[in-house]
Amino acid sequence: AGVVNKAVIRHSNGKSRVKKIEDGQGSVMLPRRDLAASLLRAAEKSGAEVHCGWRLIDVNFEKKEVMLVKVKEGRTDEDEDNAATKEKTVRYDLLVGADGVRSQTRNRLSNYLNEIGIDFCVKTAEDNMEYQVATLPRPWKEIILAEKVNAPPLDTVSPASLHSFADTKTGSTGLCFPVRSKSSLSSISNNIDDESPIDKFLVCVIFPGGELGKMKRSGYPLGYESALSGLFANWTPESLSELALLLAEEDNVPNTGGVCIWSQALSHPESGVILVGDAGHGMWPSLGQGCNAALESVSVLADAIEAVDGSVSSGAGCRNIDFSTSSNKELVKAIALEYDGLRREDALAAVDLTFGGIGGTKKRAVVHSPVVFKFQIWIFMILHKVTGGLVPMPVMLRIMKGDCGRYSTLKWEMKVEKYVVYGIFIGILGFGLRGFGYVNNKE
């Protein structure tokens, strides 16, 4: 259930730093299932017909047909006997693939196009970090040591706070979120306080690739407690033991962070296929942009449909064409072209930015960013403050704060930042060499 974030607390090396967030400026943290349920209800309310529990097993792009199979938990022998009634073929005009980084829609489209001699390249990169998630049945003020909670700076912080933990020794990170068992969807959508209590603490532990697997194999408690004690140094021993037990459970397996997807195109007009979200532009969670980018793509798709319909002027090429006498096939083709033209540049830029991560390292549990990256952040923060905001904050910080614009623009600004830093390095080196030469000549 949703929580409007009131503060961000960073814990590292035994110290806690608090950044409070002004009213109306906080992000909303809510479980994906609640977001999905809210979107589903909105779709049904708009008149969409929703069929749940069907899985795509094949696509005939020439006939524009999808083959689906009914997914049912606890299938019995009787269900197997009636398997024929559990499958169906559906014709489509426009097929929107929004089925994640392992998208069957994208994979089958790529295979089909390559088989008929059309190049459709999809580049992928697996993240090497591992993470596990567990939920403790208490708010964070009952998990962190009492002497820390009751002393500055934590004593005045709201329970609705996001926490990050870092352990430089193990290269691990912990991200923790306040959770409500019950919440009002209206309060979430309006970004206001909810009256229901914050009674849980969602914990995500992130370690370099392979480390959580080793802990899992070594068993509880030795596998987790030693590593967790360094990461969550200000937790109570009871909370550490409880978290270790939850992480060591057999069905709580380590997961990798994600897959970056660079798709050559976000649509294939002739096949009537459009790729949305991770299916077309999957990305690592390093900058927390996956859900944002997916929802943005949905909005762009809506803009593309309206542009073809003639209700808006979008800018990718269709707004000056009269589709009033066009067939469905021509309309779908126009929508696919418009969507790809509006979205692909920004979508690929978002993937590039998250692939770079915190300082261009492939470790998501970043605690040792490259020196040049740290220098880049430092220089532009100084310029931002000295110029009174005329020079914007570093791109990476703006993305994390949620104060950002188009991903393609941010990518360009990121390059400018790097060139400025390289120029400063070269300038420092040049002055150093000049000074050295001056001293030698004087001698």
- Cα 164-168-174 angle, rounded to 5 deg: 25
Q: Which residues pair with 96 in a beta bridge?
A: 274
Q: Which residues pair with 268 in a beta bridge?
A: 273
Question: Which position has the higher pLDDT, 77 or 353?
Answer: 353
Closest CA to 101 of 252, 257, 261: 261
| 392 touches 402 (CB < 8 A) | no
- Would you say the C-alpha torsion 262, 265, 271, 275 has a positive or negative sign? positive
What's the pLDDT tens digit per position in 318-372?
A: 555 566 667 888 889 999 999 999 999 999 999 998 887 654 445 444 444 567 7
What's the pLDDT tens digit per position in 86-133?
A: 889 999 999 999 999 999 999 999 999 999 999 999 999 887 788 999
Average pLDDT, integer, range 182-201? 61
Average pLDDT, integer, range 170-188? 74
Which has the minimum average pLDDT: 93-97, 152-156, 328-332, 403-407? 403-407
Average pLDDT, integer, range 147-176? 90
DSSP state of 82: T
CA 86 → CA 68, 255, 272, 424, distances in Å? 8, 31, 26, 66
For residue 5, is it left (φ>0), alpha (ψ between -120 and 50) or beta?
Answer: beta
Cα–Cα dist 356/286, whole Å = 9
- Cα 6-7-11 angle, rounded to 5 deg: 155
| 272 touches 93 (CB < 8 A) | yes
Cα–Cα dist 439/424, whole Å = 22
Average pLDDT, integer, range 141-165? 92
- Reply yes or no on whether the pLDDT at 135 is more than 90: yes
As a dihedral over the C-alpha atoms of residue 214, residue 215, residue 218, residue 221, rounded to 10 degrees, the angle is 180
| Residue whose pair of structure tokens reads 């859900």 in the numeric block | 291
Please, which pLDDT band fits residue 243 given cuts at 50, 70 and 90?
very high
Cα–Cα dist 368/171, whole Å = 8
**Which range is most confident: 68-82, 164-178, 398-412?**
164-178
Cα–Cα dist 379/371, whole Å = 12
Locate 206 and state its tokens: 């992130």
| Averaged pLDDT score across all residues of the chain | 83
Which has the minimum average pLDDT: 70-84, 242-256, 408-422? 70-84
Cα–Cα dist 23/5, whole Å = 9
Q: Is 93 exposed, middle or buried (0-12, 13-18, 19+ CB in 10 A)?
A: exposed
Which has the minimum average pLDDT: 55-64, 288-297, 368-377? 368-377
Cα–Cα dist 268/110, whole Å = 10
pLDDT for the residue numbered 366: 44
pLDDT for the residue numbered 301: 94
| 61 touches 92 (CB < 8 A) | no
What's the pLDDT tens digit per position in 8-45?
A: 899 987 789 998 887 766 777 777 777 788 888 888 89
Count other Cβ atoms within 10 Å, centred on residue 381. 14
pLDDT for the residue numbered 321: 59
Closest CA to 175 of 207, 211, 202, 209: 202
| 113 touches 249 (CB < 8 A) | no
Which pTM was predicted? 0.78
Closest CA to 163 of 140, 193, 135, 131: 140
Cis peptide before 221 (omega within 30 of 0): yes
Chain-centroid distance, C-alpha 398: 15
Q: Return the H-helix or E-strand segment holding 207.
A: strand 198-207
